Amino acid sequence: MLQINPELKSKIDQLWNKFWSGGISNPLTAIEQITYLLFMKRLDELDQKKQADAEWTGEPYTSKFGGTWIPPEYRAKAREDDTQKETAKRQADAKMYEIDKRTLRWSEFKRMQAEEMLQHVQTKVFPFLKDMNGATSNFTRHMRNAVFIIPKPALLVEAVKTIDEIFEIMEKDSQEKGQAFQDIQGDVYELLSEIATAGKNGQFRTPRHIIKLMADLVRPQLGHRIADPACGSGGFLLGAYQYIVTELAKKAGTKDLLPDEDGFIRTSVAAGLTEKAQAILQASLFGYDIDATMVRLGLMNLMMHGIDEPHIDYKDTLSKSYLEEAEYDIVMANPPFTGSIDKGDINENLSSQKRRQCTNAPDLLFAPIGYY
């Protein structure tokens, strides 16, 4: 979509230029901040769609933006020696900091004045996103050190406006060409040519059509355990997810699926699956990366496509600490082609001692264990 839509490409370029002129010149930092905003926007859209679908079908649905939220630092923490009265007081004190979740929606805060919007996003919306899956979730753990660093109210206002325009163009494309929401975040990678300066560890996105072709060749099925040992923003996992959802949709009798802009029939809509099938599918995808920023981007990317709790983790799959063997049915990956790792920490199961002594290039080390 983005490769052939000059209007959309122009909007992405405008967004990058605004971040550059606004003081965020590191490409990977800019992409992370842009992704946070895309995530806020997409989360609101998905939630509203699920609410509308639930009203249509009569099925129950609990909105992510329903009720109130208390920031973790203000929550009442029970103490063993507390009396009932003291516990009640702590709970009453915590209620003073309750925030109406409706105000945390993109569609609500985007109407605020610039100064108010920046403060609201920094102190309420972003902390809520980091905490929304619960204290024990993988997403919350990896988002713990994430920072929202857009410094100027005017930059945030312009970025919000541009992202709304990007989504409007995508919606128009969807209606006119029958194309579903695709990998926005990966397309941002492709269109920001400046990302090359951030690719010291091989952080380059595999082109979308290559991912789709690989999925067609491998043909992942529901129930397969699928892994990407160098997952980056999660493109291969998303490709496998979309392939499985599409095949299930076909088996269920869906007739209106059309080839997308790359010539593949794809859908990301898993709403029609049974609850059991959705649970199996979400528990089948596993990704690992050695860059904490990429782990966060991968988590948000899959969540923007409806995978509520992705299994993406920070882990060096070439190191001695990675001990998993024969855990997965399918491995889909595009190993990093730049950077290096510590020869002394290379997993002994990957290759012969002679090979380990000759190279510490990640792409060559992935090859012996069938990661190509």
pLDDT in tens, 335-372: 775 555 656 556 666 554 444 454 555 555 555 444 43
- Looking at residue 49, its pLDDT comes to 86
pLDDT in the model for residue 194: 46
Per-residue pLDDT reduced to its tens digit, 283-296 = 999 999 988 888 99
- At 149 the pLDDT is 94
Average confidence (pLDDT) over 192-201: 47
Count of Cβ atoms closer than 10 Å to residue 20 Cβ: 14
What are the domain boundaries of the chain?
1-65+105-180, 199-372
Residue 226 main-chain phi, psi, to 5 deg: -120, 130
Q: Selecting from 3.30.1330, 1.10.3470, 2.130.10, 1.20.1260, what CATH number does the domain 1-65+105-180 have? A: 1.20.1260
Q: Give the pLDDT of residue 30.
A: 85
The reported pLDDT for the residue numbered 344 is 58
pLDDT > 90: percent of the chain: 30
pLDDT at residue 150 in the model: 94
What average pLDDT does this structure show over 111-121? 97
Per-residue pLDDT at 177 exceeds 70: no
Report d(CA 272, CA 153) in Å as an integer: 41
Q: With respect to CATH, is domain 199-372 assigned 3.40.50.150?
A: yes
Say what the pTM is: 0.79
Cite the DSSP H helix spans in the chain: 6-21, 27-57, 84-95, 106-109, 114-120, 126-131, 138-143, 153-177, 184-191, 208-218, 235-251, 275-282, 292-304, 353-358, 362-366
